[in-house]
Amino acid sequence: MLPVRIKEAAMLIAVASKDGKEINQHFGHAERFLIYDVEQGEARLVDEKKVERYCSFDPEHPLRGHVLRSIAEALEGCRAVVTAQMGEHPRSELEKMGVEPFVVAGPIKQTLAELAKIL
């Protein structure tokens, strides 16, 4: 009998980045998220989702839950969201929606390959 090789499952991870190279953007300031497919230690850009900025500095709507839900819908299928900074409210709301938030800075592909090891 031949040994069965179990293929590592791919996972989608959303990244907030200003330049497409580094994880260097605050969650609330992002107007797009880059979607990477991470599989077998490799991160490959597969999509880009444009979103409304969560932070509007609008005193009438400080939490903007409807925008957060819209962002979560845009990132549907992603296992995690990786940003350089994130407030406590969006972090807890993303967790409730089943998306794991991570705050880390660094080169995208290398950081995602490392992150995939613990997800």
The domains found in the chain, sorted by start residue, are 11-116 (3.30.420.130)
The pLDDT score that the predictor gives to residue 61 is 60
Q: Kindly give, in sequence order, each residue whose CB lies less than 8 Å from that of residue 6, ignoring residues fewer than 6 positions away.
A: none
Confidence label for 6 from pLDDT (cuts 50, 70 and 90): very low
Q: Is the pLDDT of residue 5 over 60?
A: no
Give 39-60 pLDDT, tens digit per residue: 988 999 999 999 999 887 666 6
Which amino acid appears at position 47 of this protein? D
Q: Is the pLDDT of residue 83 over 90?
A: yes
- When the pLDDT of each residue in the chain is averaged and rounded to a whole number, the result is 87
Question: How far is C-alpha 7 from the chain's CA centre?
Answer: 23
Question: How far is C-alpha 89 from the chain's CA centre?
Answer: 16
Once rounded to an integer, what is the mean pLDDT over residues 76-81?
94
> In angstroms, what is the C-alpha Rg of the chain?
15
Higher pLDDT, 105 or 63: 105
